[in-house]
Amino acid sequence: MRISTLLFLIPLRPAAAAVRPDTTPLALKMLDSIIAREQGVVVDPSVKTSVIEGGLLLLGISEVLENMPLTQELDEKYESYLDLVMSGLVPVLQNVTVDVRSPLDEFSVGTQFIKQYQKTGNLTLLSTIQTLHQTDLLRNRQSDGSYWYYVYPNVTTQDGLFSIPSFHSAYAHEFDPNNALTAYQTSALQFSNIIDRCLSHSTGGLLYHGYDPTRSFPNWGNLTSRGHSQSIWARAVGWTCMGLLTTLDVIPDVPATAAIRKELRGIFVQLMSAVARAQDGASGAWWQVMNFPGRQGNFLESSATGLFAYALLRGLRLGYLGTEDGDKFSARQYRRSADRAYDWLVNKALLELGDGTLGYNLTVDVCSINSTTAFDFYVAQPLKPQSLLGEVGFLLTDLEMQLAKK
Ligand SMILES: *[C@@H]1O[C@H](CO)[C@@H](O)[C@H](O)[C@H]1NC(C)=O
Ligand SMILES: *[C@@H]1O[C@H](CO)[C@@H](O)[C@H](O)[C@H]1NC(C)=O
Ligand SMILES: *[C@@H]1O[C@H](CO)[C@@H](O)[C@H](O)[C@H]1NC(C)=O
Ligand SMILES: *[C@@H]1O[C@H](CO)[C@@H](O)[C@H](O)[C@H]1NC(C)=O
Ligand SMILES: *[C@@H]1O[C@H](CO)[C@@H](O)[C@H](O)[C@H]1NC(C)=O
Ligand SMILES: *[C@@H]1O[C@H](CO)[C@@H](O)[C@H](O)[C@H]1NC(C)=O
């Protein structure tokens, strides 16, 4: 019995596969590869990027669950992985004393926890959210209202903009509605302060990595009048683009928030037009150090390219880009920019690892603000293969490509 069934099945399977080409979107193949590697499950706080990787991965999985047509089996697989990643993050974030001395990255996780708590009412998540809120209240701020990114005195960086503004607003919206409008203003202030201090006029509106208004951070020297650091690091600009989108997502669109949303959209449009202008003409990718394109040692970087391509596509889908008076580019021009970036990501960053999974190349590892922040520093940092920061940026970009086809 058994043998005859096998003989019957074996010749049919390859034939069936051959007539039906694999149309699985790359976003899902990437997520399956991340799951196969068990990435993001074990959170090691000594690996400096591990918490922001968790926040970005949660965003990626949540966007897949919300936007992609999935079989019930896949839906359950991704739901349970989301839960697994959250379970790994909970123990790392349960002590206010420790959290307050950690980078702002922990709040990137909080925004996703709030979303999942709204869906499930899970009290473990609520407890972590409340711990993060207590931490938020205790964090150091500049006299201008910006959060310090980490323990470095008076240093604010763009890396934090992916994390704190959306959490700060989402928390108030969900748990403290009487103070929500103030919270939205505080979130918007994080972006406008960075614009005031870090805007690079010569690049048409890109942003230096961070600033210290007291101009006394020892590793930077006292070089620039506005107190910003020396170079424009692409992934940091990517975090700002992402943060503007996630913050706009959590601030409700009602008359009372119209001015705040308009300000944030304006900042987004200005920044994305500068990003589009800075795209490398020959490749469609973006340079690691954006203010020295093509300079000896500089390289095209795949996490920033993924984040920018995603922000372009999502900004188009939500009607933020190519629609405002004064936008420097049309929707078609932004779309062309995203398409060219996507082609580079697929052809140069994406890898077939041979075991059936997708890998990802050309993502730079940590570039700490606790450095000279000079060109030579950023271009000397190593690449990290299969980095979640690159992989999830690509996953999100491919997801938006699928949505844009509809
Ligand atoms: C609540 O969430 C945590 C973290 O994701 C998870 O470990 C736990 O199983 C969840 N509890 C319930 C009752 O779903
Ligand atoms: C939180 O961490 C601090 C510093 O490591 C420690 O002293 C304290 O006991 C911890 N608190 C709890 C409730 O675990
Ligand atoms: C810099 O940090 C110190 C605390 O270390 C604080 O007293 C001071 O107000 C800060 N300066 C600015 C300009 O934010
Ligand atoms: C930085 O330089 C400016 C003038 O160039 C000076 O006013 C300021 O005090 C200096 N700051 C520090 C911390 O040395
Ligand atoms: C990743 O990119 C680097 C730099 O271009 C290259 O040397 C390396 O061979 C690539 N890795 C793989 C696995 O393709
Ligand atoms: C920042 O850099 C300085 C000198 O380069 C080093 O002594 C210090 O330990 C670093 N701080 C942190 C928190 O890594």
Alpha carbon nearest to ligand 2 atom 11, residue? 95
Ligand 1 atom nearest the C-alpha of 84 is: 5
What does pTM read for this prediction?
A: 0.94
What is the distance between the alpha carbons of residues 348 and 361, in angstroms, rounded to a whole number? Answer: 8
The reply to whether ligand 5 has any atom less than 6 angstroms from the CB of 358 is no
Is the Cβ atom of 214 under 6 angstroms away from ligand 3?
yes
Ligand 2 nearest atom to the CA of residue 98, by list position: 2
Ligand 2, atom 12, residue with closest C-alpha: 95
Q: Which ligand is nearest to the CA of 95?
A: 2
Token pair recorded at residue 397? 């970009």
Per-residue pLDDT of the chain (406 residues; tens, 9 = 90+): 344 444 444 444 444 445 556 789 999 999 999 999 999 998 887 787 899 999 999 999 999 999 999 999 999 999 999 999 999 999 999 999 999 999 999 999 999 999 999 999 999 999 999 999 999 999 999 999 999 999 999 999 999 999 999 999 999 999 999 999 999 999 999 999 999 999 999 999 999 999 999 999 999 988 899 999 999 999 999 999 999 999 999 999 999 999 999 999 999 999 999 999 999 999 999 999 999 999 999 999 999 999 999 999 999 999 999 998 789 999 999 999 999 999 999 999 999 999 999 999 999 999 999 999 999 999 999 999 999 999 999 999 999 999 998 6
Fold of 23-405: Glycosyltransferase (1.50.10)
Token code pair at residue 284: 């469609």
Instruction: Provide the 3-class DSSP secondary structure of residue 88.
Output: helix
The residue count for the chain: 406
Gap from CA of 349 to ligand 5 centroid (Å): 9
Which atom number of ligand 1 is nearest to the Cα of residue 125? 2
Cα of 212 from ligand 3 centre, angstroms: 10
Q: Does residue 360 contact residue 383 with C-beta atoms inside 8 Å?
A: no
Residue nearest to atom 4 of ligand 5 (CA): 362
Burial class (CB in 10 A: 0-12, 13-18, 19+), 343: middle
Read off the tokens for 12.
């049919």
Structure tokens at 278: 């800075």
Domain ranges of the chain: 23-405
Q: Name the residue of 215, 217, 225 to mutate for ligand 4: max ligand atoms within 8 A of Cβ.
A: 215
Ligand 1 pocket residues where CB is under 6 Å: 83, 86-87, 90, 122, 124-125
Mutate to test the pocket of ligand 3, among 154, 155, 228 (most ligand atoms within 8 A of CB): 154
Q: How many CB atoms lie within 10 A of CB 300?
A: 21
For ligand 3, what atom is nearest to the CA of residue 213? 13
Is ligand 3 within 6 A of the CB of residue 153? yes
DSSP β-ladder status, 358-360 and 206-207:
unpaired
Please answer whether residues 171 and 183 qualify as being in contact, where contact means their C-beta atoms are separated by less than 8 angstroms. Answer: yes
